[in-house]
Structure 1
Amino acid sequence: MSENQNLLAEQRRALILDEVRRRGGVRVNELTRKLGVSDMTVRRDLDALARQGVLEKVHGGAVPVAEASTHEPGFEAKSGLELSAKEDIARTAATLVAPGTAIALSGGTTTYALAHHLLDVPDLTVVTNSVRVADVFHSAQRSSGQRQGAATVVLTGGVRTPSDSLVGPVADQAIGALHFDVLFLGVHGISAEAGLSTPNLAEAETNRRLVQSARRVVVVADHTKWGTVGLSSFATLGQVDTLVTDAGLPAQARAEISEHLHRLLVAGAPETNDAEDGGDPDGSGNAGNPADF
């Protein structure tokens, strides 16, 4: 029995999607051999991924979806993708948060995962334009009561996007009057040429305000975001202090990214070296003390 038969559906579908994107298309019989599962299981996985809009089924297999630069998938569509990678990223990014600091969390499914790891960090002030992120803190406080040291959450106003972020002039004005110690920023796409980008013009402007109001900018993005370019760029890689990504990011991309920003943290990769993580003294790939970045 192949060990891949024991993979969870989520993990198996992430492997399938990576294979489709890497090769530009795969056949069902290739996936059955690679994953050690039945033809029917692969077809069900392809059906599920096609419903999420992340690949297109063709006769005998699947190909990537050619997305327009203006295409903006909704929160639910994105929330089922790269779950293990996002969890690794969130766990690592959370170690960068010191008690008693003022942080900002942008919209996105990775910042949503990060919010769950911050519930026990005392005395935080959390500014967010994400309805989902705010709900994480509010739900925790409702279930456990208003305990000492619970986070103070500031939810900006604005117009709601498909990704459940609040954007536009109201959000921009609120953010522009604030100052955060650290911004944790989810992105639609990241590349050396286009920097950080999004398909939503209003969200791009709100993200610019978030970047301008932060002392430190930490981007949390899984490896599939590298090379993706949305309609509007809102920051260069030079404006990013730290990128937290996952072990799926190819070595060539790691080297290219490291040329442009201060620190690269690869979550779930203990072999990360000093050149990649910006000086992690023990080479563990862990974030370490927040003062280090």
Structure 2
Amino acid sequence: MLAHQRQELLLARATADGAVRVVDVAAELDVSEMTVRRDIAALAEAGLLRRVHGGAVPARPTALEPTFTAKTELAREAKTAIARAAADLIGPGASVALSAGTTTHLCALELAARGRSDLTVVTNSAPVAEAFGSAPGDRPEVVLTGGSLTPSRALVGPLAVAALATLRVDVLLLGVHGLDADAGLTTPNLLEAETNRALVRSAGRVVVVTDSSSWGTVGLGRFGSLDDIDVLVTDDALPDTARAAVHDAGVHLTLVPTTKEAR
């Protein structure tokens, strides 16, 4: 397969799934991972893709919502470190809400592995609820909102919003698709944006958990600004300009060290 054919496939896959992994494409096309990275670099230089740890995502603002599976392995190392740091922030006996997303799912797995049966958990994420439900030993009380299921396995819409309107939690662990100084917190799914707004309103403290590749990404639905965040937990690949914007917004920044993958 010629380079332009590989690049067309990469772009089509990223557009269809919302993300593409280097290792998957290399195995599918029987080429080296370095070859795939060079193709991604060419598409990034053309402004068609944006490189992230382990792969790439569409470069432009989009209404496309990546599937849960497509996002699970992207920046896995960074997300795992972020989840550990976020779990450290949850005090004894807290009520904690977790939004949908692959990073919040890892937060749930971390809290479950620590045996945090003292918590009361509120979530609109089926995988998050399953993470606590499958934990060994005593389990926390888990409140799962109703709603319609999205490709990211989030429960969204009027039922979810109505349920959240009756609740007040100590802390929210919030995953985001996009984080930007001007656009704020965004997601491709408009119903998920509405539900995320309800989650933010329900929380005494908002902790955003996301890897640094989310910075500069803008989805169609906006559900908050940097001013709505109390703590941002991300990895140390966050650009200096982003760190300055977060600081100017009065957000406490927690950076976790990661081993940067070759890009």
Please, what TM-score do these two structures have when normalized by structure 2?
0.77
User: 1:68: Cα distance to partner?
Assistant: 4.5
2:97, 2:172 within 8 Å by CA — same for their partners in 1? yes
Please give the alpha-carbon distance, in whole angstroms, between the structure 2 residues aligned to 1:243 and 1:229.
Answer: 17
User: 1:122: Cα distance to partner?
Assistant: 3.4
Please give the alpha-carbon distance, in whole angstroms, between the structure 2 residues aligned to 1:90 and 1:266.
Answer: 12
Opposite residue 127 of structure 1, the aligned amino acid is V
User: 1:63: Cα distance to partner?
Assistant: 6.1
Partner of 2:70: 77
**Structure 1: any 5+ residue segments left out of the alignment?**
1-38, 270-293
- Asked if 1:96 corresponds to 2:89, the answer is yes
| RMSD of aligned alpha carbons | 2.4
3-state SS in 2 of match to 1:164? coil
User: 1:121: Cα distance to partner?
Assistant: 2.1
Please give the alpha-carbon distance, in whole angstroms, between the structure 2 residues aligned to 1:261 and 1:87.
Answer: 25
- Asked if 1:215 corresponds to 2:208, the answer is no
* Residues 201-220 of structure 1 deviation map (CA, whole Å, 9 limit, x = unaligned): 11111001000010000000
Out of 112, 123, 134, the residue aligned to residue 128 of structure 1 is: 123
User: 1:255: Cα distance to partner?
Assistant: 1.5
3-state SS in 2 of match to 1:98? coil
Which shows bigger deviation, 230-239 or 178-187? 230-239
Please give the alpha-carbon distance, in whole angstroms, between the structure 2 residues aligned to 1:199 and 1:94.
Answer: 27
Partner of 1:166: 155
Which shows bigger deviation, 256-265 or 151-160? 256-265
Opposite residue 160 of structure 1, the aligned amino acid is L
Runs of 4+ in 1 over 6 A off after TM superposition: none
3-state SS in 1 of match to 2:122? strand
**Structure 2: any 5+ residue segments left out of the alignment?**
1-29, 50-57, 259-263
Name the larger-Rg structure.
1
Please give the alpha-carbon distance, in whole angstroms, between the structure 2 residues aligned to 1:208 and 1:248.
Answer: 27
* Residues 123-168 of structure 1 deviation map (CA, whole Å, 9 limit, x = unaligned): 100000000000001111xxx35x3xx2111111100111100000
Out of 18, 34, 42, the residue aligned to residue 33 of structure 2 is: 42
Partner of 1:154: 143
2:226, 2:251 within 8 Å by CA — same for their partners in 1? no
Please give the alpha-carbon distance, in whole angstroms, between the structure 2 residues aligned to 1:261 and 1:160.
Answer: 34
Matches of residues 1-293 of structure 1 in structure 2 within 5 Å?
Answer: 40-42=31-33, 64=49, 65-119=58-112, 120-140=115-135, 144-145=136-137, 147=138, 150-268=139-257
Q: Relative to structure 1, is the Cα distance of residues 155 and 246 closer, same or farther in structure 2, using a 3 angstrom cutoff?
A: same
User: 1:69: Cα distance to partner?
Assistant: 1.7
User: 1:246: Cα distance to partner?
Assistant: 0.3
Q: Relative to structure 1, is the Cα distance of residues 76 and 197 closer, same or farther in structure 2, using a 3 angstrom cutoff?
A: same
Partner of 1:282: none
1:93, 1:114 within 8 Å by CA — same for their partners in 2? yes
3-state SS in 2 of match to 1:215? strand
Partner of 1:34: none
3-state SS in 1 of match to 2:223? strand
Please give the alpha-carbon distance, in whole angstroms, between the structure 2 residues aligned to 1:247 and 1:83.
Answer: 14
Opposite residue 137 of structure 1, the aligned amino acid is F
* Residues 22-59 of structure 1 deviation map (CA, whole Å, 9 limit, x = unaligned): xxxxxxxxxxxxxxxxx942267559xx9xxxx5987x
2:233, 2:253 within 8 Å by CA — same for their partners in 1? yes
Aligned length: 217
Q: Relative to structure 1, is the Cα distance of residues 43 and 267 closer, same or farther in structure 2, using a 3 angstrom cutoff?
A: closer
Please give the alpha-carbon distance, in whole angstroms, between the structure 1 residues aligned to 2:158 and 2:215.
Answer: 29
